[in-house]
Amino acid sequence: MNKYLKYISPNLNCIYNIMKINETLGKWENYNIEKGYTEITYSFPNWSALRGDKYKTLTTFNDKGKDLVRAKLQQWEDVANIKFIEVSDEKDTDLKFGMYNNLSEIGNYRSHSVRGFAFHPNNIEKKYKIAESKIEKVEDYTFSGQVWINMSDMNIEYITKSTITPEQQIKVNYFKSKADIIEYSIEEHDKYYILLKNNNARAHIDDSKNVLKEEPYTQKAISHEIGHALGLHHTFTRQQSIDCEENTYKYSIMAYNVPDSSDADHQGMHPLTPQLMDVYAIQATYGQNKSTHIGNTIYGFNSNTKKDYYSLKTSEDKIIACIWDAGGIDTFDFSKYTVDQKIDLSEGGFSDVGGLRANISIAYDTVIENAIGGSKSDIISGNDANNKLSGQCGDDTLYGKGGNDFLYGGEGNDYLYGEQGDDYLYGEQGDDYLIGSDGNDYLYGGEGNDYLWDSAGNNMLDGGLGNDILISSKGDDVLYGGEGNDYLDAGMGNNKLTGGTGYDTFSFNIENNDSSNLITDFESGIDKIFLYKKTDDGNITKKINIVNSNHLNNNEGNLYYDNVNNITNLKINTAEISTPQYLNINLIGKYEYEDLFC
């Protein structure tokens, strides 16, 4: 798993090492050789019955709370090579879940700002207590793997000392007299008081009030504490804390810091899953779960994951998540969003989706093949796999990257870059720019006035409708203008050119061009041939001298009609040196010089 450390930033390396600071005691050692994964038991002890007089608020999860914990355990199991096994509350287990109400004698936690705590794995403690199977009191459970969630719900009031009123002073005195840390708490600072009233003060006594909020912050807190119980540290220590974007929620739910607005914009929302560094660190500890989402999985709109943290229904829905996917042909579908988006399919990459920034990441060693943009102007980047990228509406920019890709611009004026591989680029509606680059590509402009260019390989360029510009470079290409008045530049390869309907221009570079081209549908009086040389100031028109000789000097040409094959051949010496370089322009039909250069 450490193979990725050389690819990630020095800051991420440092964060990873901090998160694994307890590596000597930092994992459960219950690996099942036959099953091929680590088994981790868990339970929901009956803390309410066991707490006695010593522990005031230790509380058992109700059924709804248990389901929430199970869902969070499943998220960790989905990414790591572990299997959680639920056991009855009569036995000690690796993980033990419970709640407390702002005050916990275990760990001596007594602050509303602490939403939970947990103990790391300790296989030594487990080894020595394994024989003590009978549970009669809280202390009979091992501390390692205990996970506690604070169920308090505080009203918070700040009172400034310098402007305190008599009524406020009475209230301060009342809170001081009632302070029990559970229902009433007061914090005194140099310049102000903080008064805290727990709306959930009887939750540890009355089971009907034992309600754990399911909002994202609570969900993140549960996932965070499970991370500790599985062996992960925070992204910082008291001695070491890096001031960088990697030490934030953007990268890890084990972090405390909110990302700076220049690095991410989550609009106050919290991650719904373990984040990029969490997935990396837990997989480095236990290995990867190779059975998660091995089919053709859709994330976002029209999701087939059956998981709300990967599913979107309306354009108002938002998610902050990291995607781990073990196989199949997978798709990001963000088609219903009506904002500009940036979708990045590279592993370790972040996407700006649904009005947030850097809210979707892709775990290392995960391949997402396809992406669908929304109705605004999106930037979509593929990866080294064979991608299918769809811009949909808006003025989109699509990058195929490596692999043999299909790029669809959709409506709007789009920029499509095939880059490496044999790619298919479809501009569709609008005035589009299609750039093929390496590989043997197919470029189709579709509707609108499009610009098609391919720099290498043997390609097919089809302008479709509109007045299009088709430019070949190296390689043997087929250029088809289609409808409209098109400009076809043959470049330096051996090409086949068809203008289609309309007034078309067939353009040829006559500087050191040693190639042979065929024009299939030249029409006298409608189409024309344009000869040029490249200069620093741009292309300039170049005329040639037609001579009745087979010996051609530079910028000289001859015109020959082959009546057997019905081919007119225009042969031009384009060499700038003494060694000839002949550009051959072949046209189906019989033409005179005046027909070609009207």
Positions marked active-site = 225
CA distances from 361 to 222, 264, 322 (A): 21, 12, 5
Copy the structure tokens of residue 377.
Answer: 């102007």
Task: List CB contacts of 439: < 8 A, sequence separation 6 or more.
Answer: 404, 418, 420, 421, 422, 423, 456, 457
Q: What is the DSSP code (8-state) at residue 548?
A: S
Phi, psi (5° rounding) for residue 207? -65, -25
How do strand 451-454 and strand 487-489 relate by DSSP bridges?
unpaired
Distance (Å, rounded) from C-alpha 183 to C-alpha 475? 78
Distance (Å, rounded) from C-alpha 147 to C-alpha 212? 15
Distance (Å, rounded) from C-alpha 131 to C-alpha 24? 23
Copy the structure tokens of residue 538.
Answer: 């741009």
Task: List CB contacts of 174: < 8 A, sequence separation 6 or more.
Answer: none
Q: Identify each DSSP E strand in 59-163 by its residue range.
A: 82-86, 95-100, 116-118, 146-150, 154-160
Copy the structure tokens of residue 82.
Answer: 């572990």
How do strand 37-43 and strand 31-32 relate by DSSP bridges?
antiparallel
Distance (Å, rounded) from C-alpha 536 to C-alpha 539? 8
Contacts 24+ apart (CB under 8 A), 458-467: 458/493, 461/436, 463/500, 464/427, 466/431, 467/502
